[in-house]
Amino acid sequence: MKKLLFLLVSLSVVVVPSANSPAQLTSEEGIHGMGEVVLERKPEVMRLQVNLLAKGKDLPEAITKLKARRTKVEKQLETLGAAKESVKFGDVELDAAQDDQQKQMEIMLRQRMAQRRGGKRPAEKDVSVKPVKVMLKLTAEWSLKAADTAELLLVSKKLQDAIKAADLGGMKDAEEPTPEEAELAEETEEMAMNYGGREGPKPGEPVFVFVAKITSAEREKALAEAFRAAKQEAAQLAKAAELELGTLRSLQGGGGIEVEDSTDYRLLYQTSFGAAMRQQMTGRDHSGEAIGATPGLLKFKVTVNATFAVK
């Protein structure tokens, strides 16, 4: 017994029948096709991003401490074997935790803490002067050489442990928080857990991503293959509708990290690690990079969308 296969196809064409003429298409209609090519690469580089932190009773003192930390970190990176040309420091800026959004959260949390005290506010003399916090962003890279994924995992884990032990961000050297700051931090973490996630990496916590370079030649080849796939799909749709494919009307293409089919998807969108990973990608041109949160096979997807006229 023969099995029947029913295929449901969505076309971006509309046939307008006429009482006195054959079916026609308006100038705004066409047939759309999409092609994708996924490039897979082993990680070549481990990239670090971390915020160097410092605080003082005023801005000049905080900046002086931050400069001293940068000098110390430069020597540590040399000892850790970071690629010298990859080390980049950002500009000194006030800690992002002091922005308006954070202040609003602090107000809300302080109200909750006041309720726990029976509605009493702490005495004015007990409220410590809030220190000034400053930071600067650091990025650095390490080359990775391994025969297989298992060895790559061992190498990268050992390197990450050494970097964390170096405490580049200054988490261990930070001054002891005031009782109010400690209680606020505890409340903030509790609130984040109640909402089913974490708010992001802790201040000064290092974040790592793995990178493989995609050359211009590889990307051009992938774009060509993706276009051929898009055109083939459009031709198949035209044939199914008993039409003939015409000239190209519009064309769009691009490339980016491919995470939907890997554990990176969960890491990228559902964890604090992923939040920091997205932060690393912000403001950078990653058209030539495959990026992942784990030292496994990295994927880079090239997509082409093409629309053709109908003859």
At residue 23, the pLDDT reads: 37
Q: What does the DSSP 8-state code read for residue 121?
A: P
Q: Which two tokens stand for residue 160?
A: 């990450």
DSSP class of residue 143 equals E
Residue among 1, 35, 3, 28 nearest 14 (CA): 28
Residue type, 12: S
- Residues with Cβ within 8 Å of 131's Cβ and at least 6 positions away in sequence, in order, are 55, 56, 57, 62, 175
Q: Degrees (nearest 5) of the Cα angle 146, 272, 168?
A: 65
| DSSP 8-class letter at 30 | -
What is the model's pLDDT at position 127?
47
CA diameter of the chain: 92
| Predicted pLDDT at 114 | 66
User: What does the alpha-carbon distance between residue 35 and residue 156 come to, in Å, rounded to a whole number?
Assistant: 35
pLDDT of residue 289: 87
DSSP state of 48: E
Residue 207 in tokens:
């974040």
CA-to-CA distance for 122 and 106, rounded, in angstroms?
A: 15
**What local confidence, expressed as pLDDT, does residue 66 receive?**
95
Give me the residues paired with residue 308 across strands. Answer: 31, 248
Q: Is 204 left (phi over 0), alpha (psi -120 to 50) or beta?
A: left
pLDDT of the residue at 258: 62
pTM assigned to the model: 0.70
Inter-residue contact 95 to 136 (CB < 8 Å) = no
Output the pLDDT for position 130. 72
Question: What is the pLDDT, as a whole number, of residue 13?
Answer: 39
Q: How far is CA 149 from CA 8, 42, 217, in A?
A: 41, 8, 26
pLDDT value for 110: 65
* Phi, psi angle pair for 286, to nearest 5°: -105, 25
- The whole-angstrom separation of Cα 266 and Cα 268 is 5
Place of tokens 């109010």: 180
Residues of the chain with confidence (pLDDT) below 70: 1-28, 96-129, 174-200, 257-287
Burial code of 2-25, b = ≥16 C-beta within 10 A, e = fewer?
eeeeeeeeebebeeeeeeeeeeeb
pLDDT score for 190 = 62
Residues 6 or more apart in contact with residue 309 via CB below 8 angstroms:
25, 30, 246, 247, 248, 249
What pLDDT is recorded for position 146?
86
Is residue 89 packed enough to be buried (19+ CB in 10 Å), middle (13-18) or exposed (0-12)? middle
Sheet holding 245-257, edge to edge: 31-41, 298-310, 245-257
Report pLDDT for 234: 95
Q: What's the pLDDT score for residue 69?
A: 96
